[in-house]
Structure 1
């Protein structure tokens, strides 16, 4: 299976229990080039497989949203030959929802990935008669608040 844009074929279907999306916001489209080495390494190490990828940019004036395919973003040219891209799976609604995190004058890459790092866990869950049914990233501010020293509870049991 490959998309019309000629991305490399995916020979095996992704583990549906391990598919998630990521939105990475940067100041502008040119800044996305800093992501290429990290994404390439994650794919090469089989930690993730990129299933779909689009870029979005929100106008600083008026907030209009522009959606761009990988082929249209020069700063991501290093990802054009990354194994595993299918494309066409993110719907317009998916992209619009993910783009709510993109502020005026900013850009983002919206990735649909298979979290291959958890493949063994997913297989073990199926062998046990179960499956992975959910997961969620915890908001940065909540993690920071939980990890911050709590001076009010010092000396008391939690």
Structure 2
């Protein structure tokens, strides 16, 4: 029987279709149905799971624990579906998400390729264009539009977009004005040295995140 050789790598993800998704749940045990849902989306071909990490912050602590799905039995269905294409979340990507965790919070950070939009991306490319922007619209903004009482005096609905779309050209070489992960890390060091109480740390952390 001829040697099948090394397994073929999946094609690299379309760089126009990558996005991150953060799912918050009350506890680690509550991740199970989320993990199953992600696995079903991958199996159905709606998304490709490029990378994933679970984050949890114990109550009354500042440190955040990061769990690789490949190292945890409960998250194993995610680990078996990860794409092998060289694109991965960096430690700083994880730190930026970890900085948002409140005490006792649990999050699942997913890096996915939106396979459902592949046909749209192909059509845009064939037309000489490309997909250039997108953003999940915040829940509160959507609910504001659905509330009849939210209409302004002139009868117009509240805006859904709070900033102009981030285009590919404007994203090249762009960097945040400040690094929230680094600032939260410095606050955690002050907490460890006893220069801040946990309540003071939390207040300062939220101030950093609110900009």
Provide TM-score, normalisation by structure 2. Answer: 0.64
Question: Which position in structure 2 is the counterpart of 1:3?
Answer: none
Q: Is the 8 A contact 2:57 2:104 kept in 1?
A: yes
Cα displacement string for residues 75-112 of structure 1 (whole angstroms, at most 9, x for unaligned residues) = 22233322635577111111111223322101111110
Question: Which position in structure 1 is the counterpart of 2:90?
Answer: 91
Distance in 2 of aligned mates of 1:83 and 1:100:
24
Structure-2 change in CA distance of 1:68 and 1:97 (3 Å): same
Secondary structure, counterpart of 1:101 in structure 2: coil
Matches within 5 A, 1:62-141: 62-82=61-81, 84=83, 89-141=88-140
**15-24 vs 31-40, greater mean Cα deviation:** 31-40
The answer to whether the aligner puts 1:144 opposite 2:154 as a matched pair is no
Secondary structure, counterpart of 1:13 in structure 2: coil
Task: Return 5+ residue gaps in structure 1 as ranges.
Answer: 1-7
Question: Which position in structure 1 is the counterpart of 2:163?
Answer: none
Q: Is the 8 A contact 1:50 1:85 kept in 2?
A: no
Distance in 1 of aligned mates of 2:99 and 2:35:
23
Structure-2 change in CA distance of 1:151 and 1:135 (3 Å): closer
Cα displacement string for residues 130-149 of structure 1 (whole angstroms, at most 9, x for unaligned residues) = 11111111111111111112
Structure-2 change in CA distance of 1:112 and 1:76 (3 Å): same
Structure-2 change in CA distance of 1:82 and 1:151 (3 Å): closer
TM-superposed CA distance for 1:73, in Å, is 2.7
Of the two structures, which has the highest relative contact order with CA contacts closer than 8 Å and spacing of 6 or more?
A: 1
Structure-2 change in CA distance of 1:28 and 1:157 (3 Å): closer
Cα displacement string for residues 34-73 of structure 1 (whole angstroms, at most 9, x for unaligned residues) = 1122111111111100000111111211221111111233
Which is strand-richer, 1 or 2?
A: 1
Matches within 5 A, 1:29-68: 29-68=28-67
Structure-2 change in CA distance of 1:145 and 1:85 (3 Å): farther
Secondary structure, counterpart of 1:16 in structure 2: coil
**RMSD over aligned Cα, in angstroms?**
2.4
Task: Return 5+ residue gaps in structure 2 as ranges.
Answer: 1-6, 157-211
Provide TM-score, normalisation by structure 1. Answer: 0.83
Distance in 2 of aligned mates of 1:151 and 1:111:
33
